[in-house]
Chain A
């Protein structure tokens, strides 16, 4: 088997809510395993409702949170290996892009100062002149240039332009992996596609893999190679994007697909709204059972095990749809 770029092994993250004595536990990420191969770049989308643990999972990959259980390995180096951890090298390999570009840049600093800092502090450029060149190169690859950006403040850009600058900043280090947390959520429809197309181009051009976190399923379908669906912290379905979107195997993925306001296909039937979100996190059996139209007694007894439907496709359900067993 080829070496993995990123391997997430049975990772869990538990948050405490409330005081030390009377506090509750909230399992934000529950025994998630995912991996990205290093032989060819891919875009992996992580989809799910708010509060499903998408961002927590990515913060763990970015080392902003520590997993409470399980381990993450990046290019063969375990996150548990504290001695071998080289922060500089880590930042060269993994770069983030955040949701709201106006919040990720300080309004009082010029935008280019962020780009220079990344280039100079991580030792990619040795002096200002070299940094000039690296920064310009990165900006050009996202369709902007240093001449346009230099000396300007975030408020002088539109959301789409500023998001391009954050992508350029991430590219300076020539990372292996870019983690984009809802990068187009704050961008207008007319600009959204420009950013999403950029991911596709950069993937090929710079050989960089993306983890694309989103709740926008239509762009996820458009851009990604693989999709992972999270529900209340559990990875419930994983597989190639097209297969998952066209023939979802988990009832929740099916529900998500049907809830997308599509153009050209109107909704017909009504649906059940979730009202008991907090409780669902602590359920011991299948977390989706209370809302699942197909749930049986078996589902309410024990958490289902991961089932492989094919080499690349796994699902966490006793009764997966679309394979004739229903």
Chain B
């Protein structure tokens, strides 16, 4: 389980701090596919970096922490921000954005696999035995074991992406984070990869966190999802419910703007643009683009709270409706 407690993080720049994520408070459960959606620059990747604990200058955590806890092979574990690094590969792993280009192009894949498997896991066996296990695992994922002998540049983008996912899940970690796992791939390959991720999650019953800006991807594979806007989570809940009954005005407009095959009716995008994170507007950050905004929205930051069972949102209008 991943618990995000009151988390804020910022990038330190010459012109002052840029607060990229602000007061996040939610948890990602065990055995679920959790989606994080939002436009570019809303803090999705930064959130993922703090979850995976790659907090390096200029990124700093201002307050709060992330707690990774769970049970593996009968042993309970719990790590906080700053210690999560120790559990990399074993308990948590990360498929970065543009994963097609993270493999070293001039090193054979078998070497890259051997390098990433922690020493404790392979101390009682020879290199061949470890590779045999890897080959077996690749076969389970319907990848040919021949890829181990090849160099990354010999594989297509989709193949490389599948190899990376195999690498990230080989140690059956409790949590797998995937940042835009299918961007830059075309629809057929995208579908193959998403199906593979779903199969793996079912098999290991672990947590899969998927960051994507494609709402269709979230609808297809996630169980619960969070919508981010300008550094905050503005709505969180069951994926299907978010699509059928969005409560935050931003989500409502976003869902209404989705083009669908089989529907030629007129759709409108959301006017305006997301605010600059350097000096965001006071109050709700969506207020300048929101058709329902009131004076209160423009001055006071709405609180992120449970608006109905299992559904969280940050909006003043909702709070009024539910009597808060």
A residues touching B (Cβ–Cβ < 8 Å)? 49-50, 158-161, 188-197, 215, 217-219, 221-222, 242, 245-246, 255-264, 266-267, 270-271, 273-275, 277
- Please state if A221 and B261 are interface contacts (CB–CB under 8 Å): yes
Question: B200-254: which have CB < 8 Å to A?
Answer: 213-217, 219-220, 243, 253-254
- Judged by a CB distance under 8 angstroms, whether B258 is at the interface is yes
- Please state if A197 and B268 are interface contacts (CB–CB under 8 Å): yes
- Please state if A221 and B259 are interface contacts (CB–CB under 8 Å): yes
- Please state if B195 and A193 are interface contacts (CB–CB under 8 Å): no
- Please state if A271 and B261 are interface contacts (CB–CB under 8 Å): no
Q: Residue A190 contacts which of B185, B190, B214, B253 (CB distance < 8 angstroms)?
A: B253
- Please state if B257 and A193 are interface contacts (CB–CB under 8 Å): yes
Q: What sequence of 0s and 1s flags, for each residue 253-266 of chain B, a beta carbon within 8 Å of any chain A beta carbon? A: 11101111111101
Q: CB-CB < 8 A to B128: which residues of A?
A: none
Of the candidates B142, B159, B185, B273, the one having the most CB atoms from chain A within 10 angstroms of its own CB is B273
Closest CB in chain A relative to B122 CB, distance in Å? 29
- Please state if A260 and B187 are interface contacts (CB–CB under 8 Å): yes
- Please state if B219 and A262 are interface contacts (CB–CB under 8 Å): yes
- Please state if B267 and A50 are interface contacts (CB–CB under 8 Å): no
Q: CB-CB < 8 A to B215: which residues of A?
A: 189, 263
Q: CB-CB < 8 A to A263: which residues of B?
A: 215-216, 219, 243, 255, 258, 260
What separation, in Å, do the CA atoms of A267 and B191 have in the docked complex? 9
Q: Residue B219 contacts which of A219, A264, A277 (CB distance < 8 angstroms)?
A: A264
Q: CB-CB < 8 A to A49: which residues of B?
A: 186-189
Instruction: Say what secondary structure dominates the interface of chain B.
Output: loop
B residues touching A (Cβ–Cβ < 8 Å)? 39-40, 142, 144, 156-159, 185-192, 194-195, 213-217, 219-220, 243, 253-255, 257-264, 266-271, 273-274
- Please state if B257 and A256 are interface contacts (CB–CB under 8 Å): no
What separation, in Å, do the CA atoms of A67 and B271 have in the docked complex? 42
- List 30 A-B residue pairs with CB atoms under 8 Å apart, sorted by A's residue number: A49-B186, A49-B189, A50-B185, A158-B274, A160-B273, A189-B39, A193-B259, A193-B267, A194-B268, A194-B269, A195-B269, A197-B266, A197-B268, A218-B259, A221-B264, A222-B264, A222-B267, A257-B261, A259-B190, A259-B191, A260-B216, A260-B261, A261-B216, A261-B219, A263-B216, A263-B219, A263-B258, A263-B260, A264-B260, A275-B144
Q: CB-CB < 8 A to A191: which residues of B?
A: 269-270, 273
Report the nearest A residue to B266, measured CB to CB.
A197
Report the nearest B residue to A252, measured CB to CB.
B188
Which 7 A-B residue pairs are closest in the complex by CB-CB distance?
A261-B216, A194-B269, A193-B269, A49-B186, A188-B39, A190-B270, A273-B192
Q: CB-CB < 8 A to A160: which residues of B?
A: 273
What separation, in Å, do the CA atoms of A197 and B214 have in the docked complex? 19
- Please state if B267 and A262 are interface contacts (CB–CB under 8 Å): no
- Please state if A270 and B195 are interface contacts (CB–CB under 8 Å): yes
Of the candidates B142, B187, B191, the one having the most CB atoms from chain A within 10 angstroms of its own CB is B187
Given A264-B260, A271-B195: A50 in contact with B220 (beta carbons within 8 A): no
Q: CB-CB < 8 A to B191: which residues of A?
A: 258-259, 261, 267, 271
Q: Residue B188 contacts which of A188, A190, A193, A274 (CB distance < 8 angstroms)?
A: A274
* Extra inter-chain contacts (14) besides given A190-B39, A256-B188, A260-B261, CB under 8 Å: A49-B187, A50-B157, A190-B257, A190-B269, A193-B267, A193-B268, A194-B269, A222-B264, A246-B262, A259-B190, A262-B220, A262-B261, A273-B158, A274-B158
Closest CB in chain A relative to B211 CB, distance in Å? 14
Report the nearest B residue to A219, measured CB to CB.
B259
Report the nearest A residue to B183, measured CB to CB.
A185
- Please state if A277 and B187 are interface contacts (CB–CB under 8 Å): no
What separation, in Å, do the CA atoms of A273 and B162 have in the docked complex? 11
Closest CB in chain A relative to B242 CB, distance in Å? 11
Q: CB-CB < 8 A to A158: which residues of B?
A: 273-274
Q: CB-CB < 8 A to B185: which residues of A?
A: 50
- Please state if B156 and A277 are interface contacts (CB–CB under 8 Å): yes
- Please state if B262 and A196 are interface contacts (CB–CB under 8 Å): no
What separation, in Å, do the CA atoms of A264 and B214 have in the docked complex? 14
- Please state if A267 and B195 are interface contacts (CB–CB under 8 Å): yes
- Please state if B269 and A266 are interface contacts (CB–CB under 8 Å): no
Report the nearest B residue to A198, measured CB to CB.
B269
Closest CB in chain A relative to B167 CB, distance in Å? 18
Q: Residue A218 contacts which of B40, B144, B261, B273 (CB distance < 8 angstroms)?
A: B261
Closest CB in chain B relative to A155 CB, distance in Å? 12
- Please state if B187 and A189 are interface contacts (CB–CB under 8 Å): no
Closest CB in chain B relative to A122 CB, distance in Å? 31
Of the candidates B191, B213, B243, the one having the most CB atoms from chain A within 10 angstroms of its own CB is B191
Q: Residue A189 contacts which of B188, B219, B258 (CB distance < 8 angstroms)?
A: B258
Q: CB-CB < 8 A to A192: which residues of B?
A: 257, 259, 269
What separation, in Å, do the CA atoms of A278 and B194 have in the docked complex? 23
Closest CB in chain B relative to A52 CB, distance in Å? 9
What separation, in Å, do the CA atoms of A240 and B253 have in the docked complex? 30
Of the candidates A189, A258, A264, the one having the most CB atoms from chain B within 10 angstroms of its own CB is A189
Q: CB-CB < 8 A to B189: which residues of A?
A: 49, 273-274
- Please state if B213 and A218 are interface contacts (CB–CB under 8 Å): no
- Please state if B257 and A262 are interface contacts (CB–CB under 8 Å): no
Q: CB-CB < 8 A to B194: which residues of A?
A: 261
Q: CB-CB < 8 A to B186: which residues of A?
A: 49-50, 215
What separation, in Å, do the CA atoms of A252 and B189 have in the docked complex? 13
Report the nearest A residue to B189, measured CB to CB.
A273
Q: Residue B259 contacts which of A222, A267, A275 (CB distance < 8 angstroms)?
A: A222
Report the nearest A residue to B268, measured CB to CB.
A193
Q: CB-CB < 8 A to A261: which residues of B?
A: 187, 190-191, 194, 214, 216-217, 219-220
